[in-house]
Structure 1
Amino acid sequence: MEHFSAGDDLIRKLTSNYFDMVLKKILFASLFFAGIVTLFAGCQDSISGFEEEPPQLPPTESMDMSFSTFDTEEAQLTSSSDFEAENEHFSHFSNAAIRAFVMKTVVDLNLAIPKVLLTAATQADPEFSEDNEWVWSYSSSHQNQNMEVRLAASEQSDGQVVWDFYVTNSALGLDNYLLFTGITSPENRIGTWTYYRLLGENDGEPVSELSWNITDENQANLQLEVLSNRNGNLGDTINFEKDGHIKSAIYFNAEEDSTVEIEWNSDTNEGYLIAPDYNNGEKACWDSNFENTECG
């Protein structure tokens, strides 16, 4: 049986400057938008005289690819390199957890900021503008720095809704900057999000696109495609599905032309991994205790 080793390319990436850069970008995003939720929550004065009901905000689940099973304290201990070295019978889950971390990093780079802003918008009330748009718009000022966030929604002739999210920040030189845009079906179950580059060279270029289909709170399908090479992920895709407690993620690495599939049960912790460079490319399963087991 072929096992994952520290010499593999995946480990090299995890310990490279690439992931140092990734973590710094995520930290910057979290610091920059740390006050957004408070900003929205503090501006909820009721608005009367609406000409009609505003469109329902897209569900936050439209940006939610959850790998929480791999984030628990027990899971992190089991997937540590020291633990795996002494307990080879946990190798299937350990290998899957490393790959889940890679997927989660790609997801966070592309969806962390939009998800924060969309979540914050659910706490606010919109108003109808002269441009026939529903607008969620707020601003704050701190130490001579001005910030404004504005979400505009317009309805199309076919009943679809277009969503544009703009950011203004004097300290960063952003003036009504289009951060992400989306379109949703009339029933608000199907849609797409396009996320744009915030700062640096080629700012304003599309970074990624997310297509989503949510049947109900227990069933969802999300597919993320990376459109920019800013972090070396151009062409990568992640297809995430949720069917009750059963979740799966299929990651296509465009540079390596390889596909990894992970499926797990968020209730029982059981799951499997299929990767071309592990276990001879054959299905590798683990049980509810994260131990290697025969696949059914």
Structure 2
Amino acid sequence: MMTRNKLRKMFLLLAALSLLALAGCSEDTPLAPIADPDPQTEAPTLPDASKLQIDLSFFDQGRDLDKAAARWNFFNAYLRAVVVTAMTEVVLAPPVAAFSLAVHTVPSYQPDGSWLWVYTFVNGAQEAQIRLRGIIGDDHVDWEMRVTALDEGIENALWFDGATRDQGDTGDWTFYDVAQAGDPAVAELHWAHRPASNTIRVVALLGDDAGNALTFSEADGENRIDFDENTGDAWFIRWVEADGTGSLRVSDYNGGQEACWDEQQ
């Protein structure tokens, strides 16, 4: 059975491949599409990979706050935001990498009506292949991504499946852990990008974390990170980029009460 370390190495390999593709360094040639029997048929729209990325640039610049308590509140929020975002990226990295790579290939039309993007990368002993399949429904597109890396013991493994709507602006995907027997579903990803709001939500499905949900949202100029635990507890971090204000409320900080920092920068 494939180990978790091998799976983590596969995550890192795919992320590296996406960077190479975006930099134009790939040695692969895009696949030629099969002749389309229906000239009106077009490949489904790939979701914009940048919409699955979390923006914490607000915290990068720091804040010159007058009060020590305000500075500590901001620093505490920053640390928690970085940690939970890093955890979320473990889930988001595969689709972001896959779609970044797929942009650089030509999809081929399949006899079953689906479209297939295939990207193969070979670099010495490292070899990986991504197979991204999309099939257009009435008001949505069904997707699945499979990965093969024979040197890591991975062969045509289902990494995620799900559907997108609204030209990729909304979607729901389920992720599977191919390192466990039966390839159980381990997480769900939901996103919605509207003119006035953006939301990314990750829900754990397996183990002690099952039911935990992490939501990143932006609406009316306010950004939020909300974490809902399966125990019923909930905490949040919120900030307004326009004036620098923000606050956090977590059970193990400030007695569980909301702690703020002011707009002084």
The residue number in structure 2 matching 1:178 is 158
Q: Which residue of 2 aligns with 1:163?
A: 143
Choose the corresponding residue for 1:220, options 185, 195, 198: 198
Q: Does 1:64 align with 2:42?
A: no
Does the 8 Å CA contact 2:147/2:159 hold for their aligned counterparts? yes
Deviation sequence 1:73-93 (CA, Å, 0-9, x none): 636xx8xxxxxxx94441211
Corresponding residue of 2:225? 249
Is contact 2:203-2:212 (8 Å) kept?
Answer: yes
Secondary structure of the corresponding residue to residue 57 of structure 1:
coil
* Secondary structure in 2 matching 1:154: strand
Q: CA deviation at 1:140?
A: 3.0
Q: Which residue of structure 1 aligns with residue 114 of structure 2?
A: 133
* Alpha carbons of structure 1 residues 33 and 95: separation in structure 2 relative to 1, 3 Å: closer
1:280 to 241, 255, 258: 255
**Which ranges in structure 1 are unaligned for 5 or more consecutive residues?**
1-21, 79-85, 291-296
**Alpha-carbon distance in 1 for matches of 2:78, 2:8:** 20
The answer to whether the 8 Å contact 1:208/1:224 transfers is yes
Q: Give the distance between the partners of 1:278 and 1:129, measured in 2 at CA.
A: 55
Residue deviations 1:87-122 (CA, integer Å, cap 9, x gap): 444121122123213321331222222222223223
Runs of 4+ residues over 4 Å off in structure 1: 24-28, 45-50
Q: Distance in 1 between matches of 2:126 and 2:169?
A: 38
Query: 1:52-71, CA deviations, whole angstroms, 9 ceiling, x for partnerless residues?
Result: 2111112325522333323x
- 1:180-208 Cα distance to aligned partner (Å, 9 max, x none): 11201254332201111143x33621121
Once the two structures are aligned, what percentage of the paired residues are identical?
24
Contact 2:70 2:261 in 1 (8 A): no
Following the alignment from structure 1 to structure 2, what is the Cα–Cα distance between the partners of residues 177 and 142? 21
TM-score, length-normalised on structure 2? 0.80
Aligned residue among 95, 115, 132 for 2:76: 95
- What SS does the aligned partner of 1:120 have? helix
1:128 to partner: Cα distance: 0.8
Contact 2:45-2:167 at 8 Å conserved across structures = no
- Residues 1-296 of structure 1 mapped to structure 2, 5 A cutoff: 29-31=11-13, 33-38=15-20, 42=26, 43-44=29-30, 49-50=35-36, 51=39, 52-70=41-59, 72=60, 74=62, 87-143=68-124, 145-156=126-137, 158-185=138-165, 187-199=167-179, 201-202=180-181, 204-216=183-195, 219-229=197-207, 232-243=208-219, 245-254=221-230, 257-289=232-264
Root mean square deviation of aligned Cα: 3.2
Alpha-carbon distance in 2 for matches of 1:127, 1:159 = 21
The size of the alignment, in residue pairs, is 253
Change (3 A) 1:39 1:279: closer
Contact 1:33–1:113 (CA under 8 A) maintained in structure 2: yes
SS at match of 2:237: strand
Letter in 2 for 1:234: A
Please give the secondary structure, in 1, of the residue aligned with 2:190: strand
Q: What 5-or-longer segments of structure 2 have no aligned partner?
A: none
